[in-house]
Amino acid sequence: MRTVTNSLPWRLVVRLLRTVVRWMRAMVLKEFLELRRDRRTMVMIVALPLLLLVVFGYAANFTVTSIDTQVLGPQAAKVAAELKAPFHVTKIDPSAGAEQGVDALRSGDAGAVVVTGEAPGPSTVQIDGSQLFSAQSASATARASGGALVPQVLFNPELKTSWVMVPALVGMIMAFIGTIITAIGLVRERQTGTLEQLAVMPFKPSDVIAGKIIPYFVLAAFDMVLVTALGCLLFGVPFAGNVLVFALGAALFLFTTLGIGVLISTVSQNQGQAMQLALMTMMPQILLSGMIFPLSAMAAGVRWIGYLLPLTYFNRISLGVMLRDAPLSSLAFPLGILALMAVVVFTAAVLRFRRDLAPAKPHAAKVPAAAGSAA
């Protein structure tokens, strides 16, 4: 009797453990089923590690091995033949001088310009300081030339990191507001039923879209002005170029990011999905736009991904305007690409949003045939 009595508590413990294990197994199975149904989460679980692996494996490189270089002056042909990596000669012009070299750097046609003199001797290497990593590599190579090359850094003489990061941060903040905040805000309004209420009111879909987008546009524009002003005041970042050109590039970039945010909101069922998709679009822009890692140092396959991102082109505009005082003609290409992206993305976003906003058409009730025959 004593043995049986003593074994009862252990039997109860074993039964309790089996019950707990059964419950836990059911909960684990339920969670796996939920994950299988949530395809966006599964895509993020698989795609995000792969994205990070590719980015940090192929793009995380600060060493610039090729710099587009122009060689000017009477001794241009001779000096060009003696230049070594990372200088990649793209133009030789014996009739040009230092002034033409500055213009080439300002317009972004070259990352470095070697200006030679009438007689053999040291040559001056004019370096574009707005391209931080290229400038550091070119300066180090010139100093190691044994006096044959004398470095002269323009637009960022002390090679300050803050002078390059502040213009890029302006674009990142606008992308954050235009993409993440817009997507989450629109999805939240859909969940609360606000958009359905607007759909039955006497408003055109275009009026509703404009009313929803304009506040985010104004907010992002305010943050752009604030960050730019504080960057210039706190870090001494110069603003050497035309404010209107900078504003034009910012407006085109902001329209593109707002369109991406609206598109994300139309395919997201809740705020969590909107956040996931927005982060999936933001991370490549931060890592592959040249903001952190130089595009010229990336592998060719990864570099082409960077050329498809709007932040890549806004960085060119912001650096060109703020540091180099680049003329409008030299920024026509990034401005044109941003304008094309803005038209395509925003048009797709508006069409998709109008389709979701349109109220469902009522279906006519069908009269059963049996009722008519009975009459």
How far is it, in rounded angstroms, from Cα 150 to Cα 121?
10
Question: Which residues form the domain of 114?
Answer: 67-154
Q: Are residues 213 and 147 in the same domain?
A: no
Q: Which of 93, 124, 154 is the last residue of a domain?
A: 154
The total number of structural domains that make up the chain: 2
> Rounded mean pLDDT of 152-172?
94
pLDDT digits (tens, 9 = 90+) for 173-207: 999 988 998 899 888 888 887 777 776 777 776 67
Q: What is the pLDDT of residue 373?
A: 43
Query: Quick one: 315 and 226 in the same domain?
Result: yes
249-305 residue pLDDT tens: 999 999 999 999 989 988 888 888 888 888 888 888 988 898 888 888 888 878 888
Kindly state whether residues 146 and 185 are assigned to the same domain. Answer: no
Domain-located, residue 125: yes
Q: What is the pLDDT of residue 375?
A: 37
pLDDT at 366: 46
Indicate whether 99 and 180 sit together in one domain: no
> Domain check: are 323 and 191 in the same one?
yes
Percent of the chain with pLDDT over 90: 49
1: in domain: no
Asked if 327 and 244 sit in the same domain, the reply is yes
Of the candidates 98, 119, 154, which is a domain's last residue? 154
According to the model, what pLDDT value does residue 205 have?
Answer: 65
Digit-coded pLDDT (tens) for 27-51: 888 777 777 777 767 777 777 788 7
